[in-house]
Amino acid sequence: MKTYKQILLEQKPLFLYILLIYAIAGTAVVFRKPLHGIFGEENYVTIHLVIEIFVAFCSLAIANQIWLSSKFKQNSKIIYTGALFLAMGILGITHAISYKGMPFFINESDSYAAGWFYMTSRLLFPAGLLAILVIKEKQISTAKRVMAYAGSFLFSVFIAIIVYWPSRLLPELIEEGGVTVLKSNLQTLAFILTVLLIVLLIKQIRIWPRFFIFMIAASLNLLCSDVMFVSYADVYDIYNFTGHIFQFSAYWLVYKSFYFFTVEQPFIALMNSNKSLEQKERKIKQLAYYDEGTTLPNERFLRETLNEQLLQTDSRKALIVFGVDRYEGVKNALGTVYADRMLEMIAQRVKEQLPPGYLLYKLPEDRFAVFIAQYETEQTVQQLIQKLQQTMDETLVIEHFTVSSALNIGVSRYPADTKSAEDLVQFAQFAAYEAAKKDDRIAFYTASMQEARAARLMLEHDLKRAVEQCELFVEYQPQLDLHSGTIHSAEALVRWRHPEKGLIAPLDFIPVAEESGLIIPIGKWVLETACAETVMWQNKHKKTMTVAVNLSIGQLYEKDFPLFVKQTLDRTGLEPSHLQLEITESMTVNTNLIIPVLQELKNLGVTIAVDDFGTGYSSLSYLKDFPIDCLKIDRSFIRSILENPDDEALVRMILSMAKHLNLKVVAEGIETAEQLDYLLKNGCDKIQGYFISRPIPYEAFEAEYPAIQQFADEQLKN
Ligand code: C2E
Ligand code: MG
Ligand code: MG
């Protein structure tokens, strides 16, 4: 809230104006004697008339302005003020024309009529404004607006009739030698009312500081005029003239304040609202054509550019669309803020690499586009692709995490692939999608890609049905404990028997499930089934069996996931220590979010394993902060353990570090006796792989268990 000082300081011009008025008044007081009679009888009437015309003009102008500006918005206080000033304006005119020395009008002009017209008007000012300040503000009808003005007009006519009535109905106000006691008293009453008005105005100053300050200044001027009007010796006294100057000045200030209120201020408000409207329009346009995060032109911009360009020339053109590898992973693990940051960094790098004349567009999700408006040979396209790929040579550092990423680049060509802008965009996106599966991460659009995309959508549709109609089942892959030589754990792996397509591998449908959110119901079902079947198996064999269940990141983010695990254990009767949950290495990136969930799970008594270890981002050193029990070395390292010294070194390092960190190690994908031998010698805790057993349905796991164990015994003996 503004202080009084601030409010006053904002009105410097007003103070200069008031200073000027007081300088005039001061001069008049000091030089009262020599100035007495300066205008003389002859000139005095004209000078008075001029001043009064100004006063009346101000009043009528206020009335008029309020009348015009209240056409659409009829606020009671404003309308009544207008009506008040209409009456004061009319009384001002009658005062001027009836003034002593003016030509004959209805009767001989003398100070009787002029005095009463003045006095009525002078009393109306504070009394009327006081009343208006205290009444309640409300909206009034058009009819009331007319009635207020008409009433005010009739009131002035009524006063005129009384004053001009042939036999004088009212006492005299001015006599030979000065004002009467009645005039002095009425002037004092006006003075007191004006002081009251000033107090009320000061109280409300904060509502419209400028308006009220002007009104206060005007009222003060009127007070000064009162002092002058009771002190003059005769009408030729300079005090009378100064009183009129104060009076005029007061009305001028009131006029200014209403001008501000009814014209200037609404105009400024209109200007401001226009300005903000313009800003909003600009913003809407910005939003419509530019991406908010990267500020790059967006897909709509691209489509419109393509539509224009394709029409212009028939030269060969190409559209490159690229997606960002690992974007989903970063988004899931670190959250959208960091994922967006990743996109911004990539956008910046690509912009720096693009040759002049090329524009980078941002498409939805993690995709970008570059349009080649004309090219002669494929080499131009290839060179640009190379440049794009180079932008990812250096790893990205996002919030202390170093992420190596790549661009999956798809290209569609005009007119070879299509002549429509719409298709050009879509085809390049299909190609980018396919590029993700290729080693060089580049794909030029071919007709089959459209089918691949359609097939994927179809798969998602079918998967939904699969969940509902129990087309899923779980297979178990035994794990051999190398210390005891027994099989007392197995990994549960989900399978999908599609009614038409037959068995579908998890690697083909788990990503679809993750993207579509179907992983949540699927994950729940697998956990429930694995726990229940393990209990069944234990009861049958009278042996303990631990089951390892794979988790997807979406499940860990699910609210109350640990609670669900607990309820599942309770429902199925599986001992918590007989359940191992497998998370993947990439899930360990978002420490803040994941650690508390893992901790809660561990508190239940289940164990946690990190699956596919060695393929993701994490380093062993910070795994020590994670509440985990076990590492599963990815089968890609085991595969070439005996041929590739790098892989061999890595596996050996994982084994020794795991020992230091007190973690168990499971080696995945053991397919040969040599691999088993190596792991046995190097102190690996458990192995899992086709060599011992493929994943098998529950019934087979029950029936074949003794045989599998026997095979393992034989292998370990050799
Ligand atoms: P994973 O958890 O690493 O599972 C091990 C994968 O390696 C399984 O493939 C298994 O059949 C395969 N495997 C085991 N031994 C050998 C071997 O000696 N040689 C070779 N070449 N492969 C071997 P599968 O069943 O196709 O599963 C693939 C991935 O799908 C799993 O990798 C896991 O990440 C995911 N997955 C499977 N079931 C589920 C599930 O219920 N939920 C979630 N979220 N993911 C699952
Ligand atoms: Mg696994
Ligand atoms: Mg694995």
Tell me, yes or no, whether 280 lies in a domain: no
Question: Which tens digit of pLDDT belongs to each residue from 444-491?
Answer: 999 998 888 888 889 999 999 998 998 999 999 999 999 999 999 999
470 and 611 fall within a common domain = yes
The whole domain housing 662 covers 458-717
For the CA of 671, the closest atom of ligand 1 is 18
- Is the pLDDT at 621 greater than 70? The verdict is no
Cα 612 to averaged position of ligand 1 atoms, centre (Å): 9
For the CA of 506, the closest atom of ligand 1 is 30
Q: Which two tokens stand for residue 601?
A: 């799970």
What does the pLDDT average to over 70-94? 90
How far is Cα 91 from Cα 116, in angstroms, rounded to an integer?
9
- Is the pLDDT at 695 greater than 90? The verdict is yes
Cα 477 to averaged position of ligand 3 atoms, centre (Å): 12
What does the pLDDT average to over 384-411? 88
Assign 618 a pLDDT band (cuts: 50, 70, 90). Answer: low
Mean per-residue pLDDT over the chain, rounded = 89
The residue from 445, 474, 492 where one domain ends is 445
494 Cβ contact list (under 8 Å, min separation 6): 472, 473, 474, 475, 506, 510, 522, 526, 550
Cα 635 to averaged position of ligand 1 atoms, centre (Å): 10
474 and 419 fall within a common domain = no
Tell me, yes or no, whether 588 lies in a domain: yes
Task: Assign residue 410 the CATH number of its domain.
Answer: 3.30.70.270
Question: Which tens digit of pLDDT belongs to each residue from 248-280?
Answer: 899 999 998 888 877 887 788 888 888 988 888
Assign 620 a pLDDT band (cuts: 50, 70, 90). Answer: low
Question: Which tens digit of pLDDT belongs to each residue from 6-46?
Answer: 777 777 777 888 888 888 888 888 887 777 777 777 777 88
Which protein residue has the closest C-alpha to ligand 1 atom 42?
550
Q: Which two tokens stand for residue 107?
A: 């009767």
What is the phi/psi pair of residue 493, to 5°?
-125, 130
Cα 507 to averaged position of ligand 1 atoms, centre (Å): 8
Tell me, yes or no, whether 452 lies in a domain: no
Cα 636 to averaged position of ligand 1 atoms, centre (Å): 12
- Is the pLDDT at 324 greater than 90? The verdict is yes
- Range of 438-442, 458-462, 550-554, 666-670 with top mean pLDDT: 666-670
Tell me, yes or no, whether 578 lies in a domain: yes
Ligand 1 site residues, Cβ closer than 6 angstroms: 477, 493-494, 505-507, 510, 523, 526, 550-552, 582, 611-612, 635, 668-671, 688-690, 695
10 and 76 fall within a common domain = yes
How far is Cα 95 from Cα 113, in angstroms, rounded to an integer?
7
For the CA of 582, the closest atom of ligand 1 is 2
pLDDT of residue 323: 95
pLDDT of residue 622: 62
463 and 527 fall within a common domain = yes
For the CA of 670, the closest atom of ligand 1 is 18
Tell me, yes or no, whether 281 lies in a domain: no
Pocket test for ligand 1, best of 493, 565, 692 (most atoms within 8 A of CB): 493
475 and 432 fall within a common domain = no
Cα 435 to averaged position of ligand 1 atoms, centre (Å): 24
How far is Cα 593 from Cα 595, in angstroms, rounded to an integer?
6
Cα 493 to averaged position of ligand 1 atoms, centre (Å): 6
Task: Assign residue 180 the CATH number of its domain.
Answer: 1.20.1070
Which protein residue has the closest C-alpha to ligand 1 atom 3?
612
- Is the pLDDT at 493 greater than 90? The verdict is yes
- Which of the pair, 444 or 208, is modelled with greater confidence? 444
The residue from 410, 445, 480 where one domain ends is 445
- Which of the pair, 436 or 687, is modelled with greater confidence? 687
496 and 605 fall within a common domain = yes
Question: Which tens digit of pLDDT belongs to each residue from 237-253?
Answer: 888 888 888 988 999 99
pLDDT of residue 45: 83
Cα 668 to averaged position of ligand 3 atoms, centre (Å): 6
158 and 259 fall within a common domain = yes
Question: What percent of the chain is modeled with pLDDT above 90?
Answer: 52
- Range of 206-215, 272-281, 601-610 with top mean pLDDT: 601-610
632 and 700 fall within a common domain = yes
Q: Which two tokens stand for residue 602?
A: 């561990």
407 and 522 fall within a common domain = no
How far is Cα 451 from Cα 435, in angstroms, rounded to an integer?
15
Counting ligands in written order, the one closest to the CA of 494 is: 1
- Is the pLDDT at 663 greater than 80? The verdict is yes
Tell me, yes or no, whether 700 lies in a domain: yes
Tell me, yes or no, whether 278 lies in a domain: no
Task: Assign residue 643 the CATH number of its domain.
Answer: 3.20.20.450
Assign 437 a pLDDT band (cuts: 50, 70, 90). Answer: confident
For the CA of 505, the closest atom of ligand 1 is 26
Which protein residue has the closest C-alpha to ligand 1 atom 15?
689
Pocket test for ligand 1, best of 557, 666, 668 (most atoms within 8 A of CB): 668
Question: Which tens digit of pLDDT belongs to each residue from 571-581?
Answer: 999 999 999 99
Which protein residue has the closest C-alpha to ligand 1 atom 7?
669
The residues that bridge with 69 in the sheet, in sequence order, are none
pLDDT of residue 616: 64
628 and 656 fall within a common domain = yes
For the CA of 634, the closest atom of ligand 1 is 3
Cα 535 to averaged position of ligand 3 atoms, centre (Å): 24
462 and 423 fall within a common domain = no
Amino acid at 543: K
Distance (Å) of CA 61 to CA 17, 28, 201, 251, 517: 20, 29, 22, 10, 72
Helix (H, G, I), strand (E, B) or coil at 96: helix
Question: What percent of the chain is modeled with pLDDT above 70?
Answer: 98
Tell me, yes or no, whether 476 lies in a domain: yes
pLDDT of residue 589: 66
- The strands making up 442-444's β-sheet, listed across from edge to edge, are 360-362, 368-372, 317-324, 407-414, 442-444
515 and 559 fall within a common domain = yes
Task: Give the number of domains in the chain.
Answer: 3
